[in-house]
Structure 1
Amino acid sequence: MRSLFAVPLRLCCLLLGLLALPSSAADKPTVAVLYFGYSGENPEMKVLKKGLAQMLITDLAGFGTVKLVERDRLQELLDELQMGQSDKFDSATVAKIGKLAGAHYLVLGSYFDLMNTLVVDAKVVKVETGTILGSRRGTGTPEEFLAIEQKLAQDLNQVLAGIASPSPEKTQSPTPEPTGAPGSPSPSRKARKLPTKIALRYSRALDAKDRKDVETAKKELTEVLKEQPDFVLASMDLASLMK
């Protein structure tokens, strides 16, 4: 006769086997990238926060160190809080956004342009306590926007890697690049160069999308790709709007 305990025993063995498996992506901390505040004097630069956020999210996700909240989800939360166009948040609002997004940590900061120089400052904040765990800066000319953003993403990933894997054995290891080569772009967008003027147009496309102005978003993305055909992220965004 078949034992009545055979099936439960097999189930117990299966459960024990699953518990013994290595940590999965579910164990990685969740990070949300908030819109950076613009502190310069050119009002047209303010919209750059959207393209910058999208690109940082894409590159940080490419490292695989943490889980990232999608920019669309962040925009939904800001709209719900009636802060859709905001880029400056007090500590209470930052904590609220982080909790609503289900994030353990936030990346936020500011940027400005002065005398042909673009400066971007970023910091990693723990949602629960508001503690700043690390800060990084990227600088360059407006023509070097892509290099500034990618270097900033790499530096931020080093901070996040220390948070996600705090043991000495792991933190002493070099941080892997998204494609295995230092300074190389994320697999999701392989543009060799991206000046600020193109990043601004891409940001305007994202802003139009957020305002449900799909036709303007398509037009802006089409123009972006005419000038920057290797900007794969923009191509992916356009393809999603065409569905």
Structure 2
Amino acid sequence: MRESRSVKTLRSSLTRLAVLLLGLLTLPVLAADKPTVAVLYFDYEGDTAGMKLLKKGLAQMLISDLSAHESVRLVERERLQQVLDELKLNQSDKFDPETANRIGKLLGARYLVMGGYFDVMNTLRVDARVVETETGRIIRSVGADSTPDRFLTLEQTLAQDLRAVFEELTATAEPGKAPAKPKPARGKPRRLTRDTALRYARALDAKDRKDLETAKKELTAVVKAQPDFQLASTELALLMK
């Protein structure tokens, strides 16, 4: 009987040791895991009617561009919209720090990309900041502006600056690791005006509201005006199935 108890005790100790070792072995993997980033809808701070919806198109384009780089994992815009709907925040113009923190945690995001935009005197200005979800600390702020006919240049500048921030963050977390090579860009047209981007955003909003006929109509117009805008073409193809 004593021997049996000793064997059981030994087995129990070995099991606990194995669990402990397994946990220690997985720590480097967890530490090296790519951080999750959520791009929230930016706040519109201007007075032009209809411009508020541009936030959806801008978010989708930034997500697409940042997803081309392997240093981070991006939350899909549809998942963000789902959380906003669940929290009944779909009509919110702005997110206060507490709400942003709650959204970030529900999305499992380590970092948030937040910001605002406004238009004045034929110029569109967009400012973005990278925020640590857990602490609310602003890690870096970036910004860009352009004329309405050069919206794509503005968006690409923002995406490039944000990518640099995340590459710096991941390099700090993993010293000596070479920066991840970007994947081929998805859905990138040669040029894109603010008005076409706004129409694309209206299509996304209609899709979010389950108004699929309006979404198809808007996307069809976008693709006709901008045949090389693959993000719009892909959305339209999915709706046509």
Range of TM-score over shorter length = 0.7 to 0.9
For residues 116-135 of structure 1, what are the structure 2 equivalents within 5 Å?
116-135=122-141
Q: 2:237 maps to which residue?
A: 239
Kept after mapping to 2: 8 A contact 1:107/1:122: yes
Distance 1:165 1:241 in 2: 40
Q: Greater helix share, 1 or 2?
A: 2
1:136-172 Cα distance to aligned partner (Å, 9 max, x none) = 00111111101100110010011111112215545xx
Distance 1:145 1:162 in 2: 26
What is the CA-CA distance between 1:130 and the residue it aligns to? 0.2
Q: 1:224 maps to which residue?
A: 222
Q: 2:44 maps to which residue?
A: 38
Q: 1:69 maps to which residue?
A: 75
Kept after mapping to 1: 8 A contact 2:112/2:133: yes
Distance 2:163 2:181 in 1: 9
Candidates 55, 68, 86, aligned match of 2:92: 86
Kindly tell me the number of residue pairs found equivalent between the two proteins.
217
Kept after mapping to 2: 8 A contact 1:59/1:178: no
Q: 1:11 maps to which residue?
A: none
Partner SS, residue 219 of structure 1: helix
Kept after mapping to 2: 8 A contact 1:33/1:57: yes
1:9-66 Cα distance to aligned partner (Å, 9 max, x none) = xxxxxxx9xx79x969x81000000000000110211100000000000000011220
Kept after mapping to 1: 8 A contact 2:167/2:179: no
4+ runs of 1 displaced by more than 2 Å? Answer: 167-170, 173-179
Gapped runs of 5+ residues in structure 2?
A: 1-21
For residues 184-199 of structure 1, what are the structure 2 equivalents within 5 Å?
186=185, 188-199=186-197
What is the CA-CA distance between 1:242 and the residue it aligns to? 1.7
Distance 2:198 2:100 in 1: 25
1:159 aligns with 2:165: yes
Q: CA distance change for structure 1 residues 78 and 196 in 2, over 3 Å: closer, same or farther? A: same
1:150-197 Cα distance to aligned partner (Å, 9 max, x none) = 110010011111112215545xx6775544xxxxxx2x1130000000
**One-letter identity of the residue aligned with 1:115:** M
What is the CA-CA distance between 1:239 and the residue it aligns to? 1.1
Q: 2:56 maps to which residue?
A: 50
Distance 2:176 2:49 in 1: 46
Distance 2:176 2:92 in 1: 40
Partner SS, residue 128 of structure 1: coil
Task: Decide which structure has the larger Cα Rg and report it.
Answer: 2
Kept after mapping to 2: 8 A contact 1:37/1:109: yes
1:99-118 Cα distance to aligned partner (Å, 9 max, x none) = 00010100000001111111
1:66-90 Cα distance to aligned partner (Å, 9 max, x none) = 0000000000100111111224111
Gapped runs of 5+ residues in structure 1?
A: 1-15, 180-185
Distance 2:52 2:109 in 1: 25
1:206 aligns with 2:212: no
User: CA RMSD, aligned part only?
Assistant: 2.2
